[in-house]
Structure 1
């Protein structure tokens, strides 16, 4: 039977020369999801920060343009220069020689006050005014006045479009003549071109302002930190949330796979064992009948041989009975069971055997809640565990039984311990394996039946043991819900 089962397991696994590489779901998900979520988070953070900067600079440029254009309009109205625009004031042309003395003085005052305001724009590094021929007519840097700027694409675009143009720089470009600041910028700076038109809407002057907006830079830096922090936290939460779900799914799949393998093994073993057991029944019955007839013959030697035959046949019959009982599907619906009452009933069946073996019973539990189990199957569990404990103490000892609810009140732990010879570490690990036994003539299915019955009703069975100190079997039951 062992050879057949071994060959079946080898065939199911593909043979020693053809190992099956299992797909590690959790590992691959961890790597792939980390790469994907990390890439998405970095992409979202980069796009968000760029959008923040561009929108902030665009709004700052718009506010600067509105401020200067409103300032120019206010100066013109303040000095009563109706019909004229600031572009005409800054770059005079056909009005020269045609204005009265008071109008010329008002125009000069308007120009002077506008330039004074322009030179005190907050966060300004440099303010410059260009005429249509790209000549500097005024600047906060006197060295630039009178110079003509050539090959400046941003300036040409501003004059040609007649609209506002802005750009961002991280450092001063050596080839840009107009970037001669009185004080060097500490961080990035902004260049804004603001058009000033005449009454016909033609650009007569272009105001260029270089700004280092300290407040804007602080807001952008705070925005950077908030965006990247939110992106990192969101990515980590998403990753660990998905990782937890996939880990649970992976564990569940692994458990189900193990259960399927175990079920397949038990099905094959059950079919094989059932065939063997049914085949043995009739020969065993015939052997016992013949032995009983031979027992009536004369001669002590014949009687001894016959007694040995009967003993061995009884042992084989017990094996067959236990094997069929183990392989039979568990039947019975769950019900509320009093564990202590079941323990007392089981102990009463072992009264003579306990007395004969000089075993003292210590059952310290007085009350315990009702648990989910089955009356007959629980009796089978207790019979098997207590019988093992008695067999472990042939020279006497103590059998202790305790019932302790856990802290949550949802489980009841029934512990049955003995002071027998105990088990080694290897024997303890093999205790719940099929057909493993340390007893002479045992079949090794008692604890397997205990585990199956406990798990059938949602419980658990565990075992701890030490050599020469004893063994303790813990049966964990689900506490039954109280009915009104």
Structure 2
């Protein structure tokens, strides 16, 4: 027998398929990914901009110093050989004009000045290659003899330096085989710098020679690398701190929002339960009162076997009335403003109320000395907190035991009071459910005692914690806020 699949089965007319449940919006997760997606590109962009700025500024500074050094050497060599000031080194570098131009310049002095200048150029530190160009773009001298006499064409940087009569510099990481002037005897290992330095005539109006220097400044490269490392480390650390800081703020905000949402849902639940409980209580009180009155009347006139049943009726009616009072009390709003409450006095009053039950149950009271301190709360509600906890402790120690009350922590803002019993304790599952409404480990229990304790403590800025294990008793810690002195 074939069974039709879901897609083959007919659907009733007008019935739409139920939409898939949407996953709840996770603010913290979305913020984490979105902020990471924004911070990382911004940090990377800042790192790249800063790195490029450092490299460009370092290269430009090195090029400026190299140009100043070259021009200073040129002027010094001209003065050194006593050539009149109307002549410059740029006019003396082209050997093709030794006989055709500048007849007033001593050829020996000219060669000497040119030789010493070129010797300085050839021994510049960190130099890879040096070329000197005539205005017609011919290499008139080079540290690589194979380039001397070559005409260099289609070199934009060289043309721009001649045309605008300005220094031009650039940095490279790889040399270009296609460029005729980049014929290094020793190829560069990493970053290298190209500088075009113009030399002018005596009037300074035209460029008579162009010096091209290729350098691989190892010390500068090391400094640039150290600077870039520090920049990227600083950016990474800054971005990480920004992300962690904002994430921590958002995480705290998400927790606060989740807590507020939880409290809002809890308040709405309590309001709804309160309305329902009030309606049910008012509807049940009169019938219960009538039942009890009838039972008491039957008890007064009938002394037969029915007395036992009548007593059961009265007992159950009283128990239901007690449940209704507990329910209404636990669900009523706690709007009272906190006032200073004498903690030892409130505790002693509650213990005095249970003195007879403690003695009857065989429970020994171990009350440690309490500091004279006032806490924020309401006397009646604080007494109800102690009464609920003491009652729970007595019910867990049916065969007797010990109830210990002590202050375990105290500072200028608050203190923590702990009540420990040696009863049967609770399992881990029961402990997790202890503060859930209407959950009880007692047969016939309503399950609102600890809920009310938690509401009262949190209403006045305190808290309650419970720890327990089966067979080893239960410990309840109450944290109070101290009243201002």
Rounded Cα–Cα distance in structure 2 between residues aligned with 1:468 and 1:186: 77
CA contact (8 A) 2:434 2:440 kept: yes
Shift of 1:429: 1.9
Match of 1:72 in 2: 74
Q: Deviations over 1:131-150 (max 9, x none)?
A: 12222222223333223333
- Structure 1 SS opposite 2:301: coil
For 1:427 and 1:144, how far apart are their aligned partners in 2?
A: 93
RMSD of the alignment, in Å?
2.3
Number of the residue aligned with 1:255 = 259
Residue in structure 1 matched with residue 31 of structure 2 by the alignment: 29
TM superposition score normalised by structure 2? 0.90
Distance 2:180 2:310 in 1: 124
1:5 is matched with which residue?
none
2:10 paired residue number: none
Q: 1:45 aligns with which of 44, 47, 50?
A: 47
Which of 236, 249, 259 is the equivalent residue of 2:240?
A: 236
Unmatched runs of 5 consecutive residues or more in structure 1: 1-14
How much has 1:282 moved relative to structure 2? 1.3
Aligned partners of 2:121 and 2:481: how far apart in 1? 83
Aligned to 1:54: 56
Query: Hey, what does 1:391 align to over in structure 2?
Result: 395
Local SS of the residue matching 1:147: coil
- The answer (yes or no) to whether the contact 2:98–2:107 under 8 Å persists in 1 is no
Determine the C-alpha separation between the residues in 2 that align with 1:16 and 1:367.
62
Once the two structures are TM-superposed, the CA of residue 21 in structure 1 deviates from its matched residue by 2.2
> 1:127 touches 1:139 (CA, 8 Å); kept in 2?
yes
* Cα shift at 1:188: 2.2
- In 1: Cα distance, 2:142 partner to 2:109 partner: 21
| Aligned counterpart in structure 2 of residue 225 of structure 1, from 220, 229, 237 | 229
Listed one character per residue, the Cα deviations across residues 335-378 of structure 1 (whole Å, up to 9, x for unaligned) are 33332222222121122222222221111234353322222211
- Number of residue pairs matched by the alignment: 466
2:282 paired residue number: 278
The answer to whether structure 1 residue 174 and structure 2 residue 177 are counterparts is: yes
In 2: Cα distance, 1:378 partner to 1:299 partner: 45
Shift of 1:293: 2.0
The aligned counterpart of 1:473 is 476
Q: Is the 8 A contact 1:81 1:103 kept in 2?
A: no
Q: List alignment gaps of at least 5 residues for structure 2.
A: 1-16
The alpha-carbon deviation at position 157 of structure 1 amounts to: 2.7
Aligned ranges for residues 395-414 of structure 1 at < 5 Å?
Answer: 395-406=399-410, 408-414=411-417
TM, length-normalised to structure 1 = 0.90
Of 286, 310, 314, 2:314 maps to 310
1:322 matches 2:321: no
Going from structure 1 to structure 2, the CA distance change for 1:126 and 1:422 (only over 3 Å counts) comes to closer
Most deviating of 191-200 and 36-45: 191-200
Find the aligned partners of 2:295 and 2:375 in 1 and give their Cα distance: 48
Looking at structure 1, the residues matched to 336 and 263 of structure 2 have their Cα atoms a distance apart, in angstroms, of 21
Aligned positions of 1:39-438 closer than 5 A? 39-78=41-80, 79-91=82-94, 93=97, 96=100, 99-100=103-104, 103-200=106-203, 201-367=205-371, 369-406=373-410, 408-438=411-441
Moved more, 254-263 or 194-203: 194-203
